[in-house]
Amino acid sequence: MDKLVLHGCGTAMVTPFTPDGAVDYEAYASLVDRQVAAGVHFLVPIATTGETPTLSAGEKTAIYQVVKEHAKGLPLMPGVGVNSLTGTLENIRLLEPLGADALLVVVPYYNKPTQQGQYEYFKAVAAETALPVIIYNVPGRTGANMLPDTVIRLAEEVPNIRGIKEASGNYAQVSEILRRAPEDFAVLSGDDDLTLALMATGAHGVVSVASNIAPVEVAQMVEALERGELARARALHHRLFPLFKACFVESNPIPAKAALAQLGLMGDTVRLPLAPASETTKVLMQKVLSELWK
Sheet-wide strand order for 42-44: 42-44, 8-12, 205-208, 186-189, 161-166, 133-137, 103-106
pLDDT < 70 stretches in the chain: 1-2
Residue 16: CB atoms within 10 Å? 25
Question: Is 165 labeled as catalytic in the residue annotation?
Answer: yes
Q: Which of 139, 292, 133, 136 is nearest to 221 (CA)?
A: 292
List, for residues 165-185, the tens digit of each pLDDT value: 999 999 999 999 999 999 999
| pLDDT recorded at residue 151 | 98
Beta-sheet pairing, 186-189 with 205-208: parallel
Question: Which among 60, 68, 119, 165 is annotated as catalytic?
Answer: 165
What are the Cα distances from residue 47, in Å, to 60, 77, 252?
10, 9, 11
8-240 belongs to CATH 3.20.20.70: yes
Bond from prior residue into 273 cis (ω within 30 degrees of 0) = yes
Question: Is 123 labeled as catalytic in the residue annotation?
Answer: no
Q: Which of 1, 39, 6 is nearest to 186 (CA)?
A: 6
| pLDDT recorded at residue 2 | 45
Q: Count of H helices and E strands in the chain? A: 12, 7
Bridge partners, 137 (sequence order): 166
- Label residues 124-155 b or e (16+ Cβ within 10 Å = b): ebbeebebbbbbbbbbebbebbbebebbbbbb
Question: Which among 28, 109, 121, 136 is annotated as catalytic?
Answer: 136
SS3 call for 82: coil
pTM: 0.96
Provide the mean pLDDT of the chain: 97
Within the chain, residue ranges assigned H as helices are 25-38, 57-70, 85-95, 115-127, 139-142, 148-157, 171-180, 195-201, 215-227, 230-246, 254-262, 279-292
Determine the longest span between alpha carbons in the chain, in angstroms: 50
